[in-house]
Chain A
């Protein structure tokens, strides 16, 4: 360090040698870090602030929501829109419907994906790769292709307006089978062989060795299939007519046609009811959600 550093403000030479340069580098680093945090806070605020504002708005009166200038905190907090939406629109029932559909769907996906993944990962049989490739290739087919044939099929079965119409057509997942096969191929075969030598059945090995070792892949799959199911809109829209069978996304969308003028108080309150369970769930398992993205590398 031969050059003499000058203090920017005073023009006076800084303490010579490495310490001065160090101090300047440190100052610059601190400044960069400050700007980084500032930008990140803006990012976080745009994501979270909009949602927070929605939650706060659900506690405002209908007139306060459309007031100008808009208020951030509710001036007179009220549960009025919750009472209205639960009374007029059966959102309690929609909530229960969503859960009654999502839980069995997710459990069936976990079961079918893990047992089929086990068979594809750890057994040899004729035409294995052909069957697997055919199953996997259905992932490329957009839901719009099967929409109308499934609508015909499920209607013919007499399942319109039933829970099974929302569960059975989604209870097996090609993606889940793929994910679990990939994962289970990494499990050491010695563990399975040890069970075989002791005379354990394949079912026993699946149940007591393979499943417990696959928890991380299963939890990623559980999260993704739950989110997809909770979010599902197109299929229920097609196959559910009766109001009392609506799931939350469907009930929410039908609010649009409920009155001639947009009722933002109800829209936002309904949206909050729809997202709260997911956000609570997410708050507890955030790391798993985020890790799930990198593990699966695929959209749910």
Chain B
């Protein structure tokens, strides 16, 4: 009798202490197990098999075969080349535009929010809608951009319909949508810099350009690293706008790894789930490396 009582009391104490925590964490962890950890582990396992997307019962373990075949897969190699071009184009344009914009906005005493209101707007609208807008702007015959080019006597371009221009065209559309976001991060970083630094530079007789190089940019390192990492992580995973605008074409010139995962995994006549999962895990590896490098870089910056 006494023993049960003691056990009961212990149980009550346990519940008093951990009851709320368990009531919260058990459902949360259950959700993560079902919709996050489980699928991740399953994808890892599938990447080592020849699983069919619709009928996984016939799966056979193939080791690293999927990863090895990727090295010979011309479509996969094309997607790697494209994603590097995409990230570089996007990164350079995005940082130059957003940093320039932030530097201009910082100088303002009034009206900053009014400009931000317009410039940030493309950030919030749907990617598919932006893709539709740019499909129209880029149309070789009917689009606004070729019309504007014709006004300054530049011959019409084919943009997303040409293998040479397509990847840059989709990257530019993406920059139009996203650079306002980086600008806000840079602006916050600029406004954090104490005015004393600038005054000290002025007293020392530094020119505007010198101040920018020697004072402003070094103090903006953290936002710069953050923006670059976001651009890389985002770019590596990019799917929506390119899928809608070109579907990866023409001739695979805008094919992205995510699009390839979708096509191999769920495209008609493919359903090669194992193979597609191997691609997705390589993307994961790239993001992991970038994130670790970022943490290292941040740590060295703080020291």
Chain A residues close to B by CB (< 8 Å) = 32-33, 36-37, 39-40, 43-48, 50-51, 53-54, 57, 65-66, 68-70, 112, 115-116, 118-119, 123, 125, 131, 134-135, 138, 140-153, 168-169, 171-172, 174, 177, 201-203, 227, 230-231, 233-234, 237-238, 248-249, 252-253, 255-256, 262, 264, 267-268, 270-272, 274-275, 278-279, 282-283, 286-287, 289-290, 293-294, 297-299
Contact = CB atoms under 8 A, between A and B. Distances in A.
A111 to B, nearest CB: 11
A146 B40 contact: yes
B217 interface: no
A290 B116 contact: yes
A203 B188 CA distance: 36
Contact of A290 (B34, B120, B176): B120
A238 B121 CA distance: 28
A151 B139 CA distance: 35
A43 B128 contact: no
A38 B31 CA distance: 52
Given A278-B125, A299-B230, A299-B234, A169 B35 contact: yes
30 contacts: A43-B104, A44-B115, A68-B147, A70-B144, A123-B20, A138-B37, A144-B239, A144-B257, A144-B283, A149-B46, A151-B265, A152-B56, A153-B35, A202-B20, A233-B128, A233-B239, A233-B243, A234-B262, A237-B262, A248-B126, A248-B128, A249-B127, A256-B244, A267-B132, A267-B136, A271-B133, A274-B125, A282-B124, A298-B230, A299-B181
Contact of B108 (A36, A148, A255): A36
Contacts of B126: 230-231, 248-249, 252, 271, 274-275, 278
Contacts of B200: none
B287 interface: yes
A144 B265 CA distance: 10
B42 A149 contact: yes
Contacts of B107: 32-33, 36
B261 A271 contact: no
B273 to A, nearest CB: 5
A264 B283 CA distance: 35
Contact of B273 (A40, A148, A233, A255): A148
Interface of B: 18, 20-21, 24-25, 28-29, 31-32, 34-40, 42-43, 46, 53, 56, 101, 104-105, 107-108, 111, 113, 115-122, 124-129, 131-133, 135-137, 139, 142, 144, 147, 176, 180-181, 184-185, 188, 226, 230, 233-234, 236-237, 239-240, 243-244, 257-258, 261-262, 265-266, 273, 276-277, 279-281, 283-284, 287-288, 291
A290 B35 CA distance: 31
Contacts of B276: 148
A289 B280 contact: no
Contacts of A118: 24
A290 B184 contact: yes
Contacts of B265: 147-148, 151
A78 B185 CA distance: 41
Given A238-B266, A274-B129, A289-B124, A47 B35 contact: no
A227 B236 CA distance: 21
B36 A268 contact: no
A298 B24 CA distance: 26
Contact of B119 (A44, A283, A289): A44
A279 B105 contact: no
A98 B273 CA distance: 29
A142 B32 contact: no
A141 B283 CA distance: 9
Nearest to B129: A271
Contacts of A115: 24
B99 to A, nearest CB: 13
B142 A264 contact: yes
Contacts of B40: 138, 141, 145-146, 149
Contacts of B243: 233-234
Interface centre among B35, B122, B137, B185 (most CB of A within 10 A): B35
A172 B25 contact: no
B122 A147 contact: no
Contacts of B230: 298-299
A119 B20 contact: yes
A257 to B, nearest CB: 10
Nearest to A143: B237
B239 A279 contact: no
Given A43-B101, A267-B135, A294 B147 contact: no
A294 B185 contact: yes
A94 to B, nearest CB: 11
A40 B261 contact: no
A47 B176 contact: yes
Contact of B132 (A53, A252, A293): A252
A147 B280 contact: yes
Contact of B104 (A39, A54, A57, A177): A39
Contacts of A149: 38-40, 42-43, 46, 277
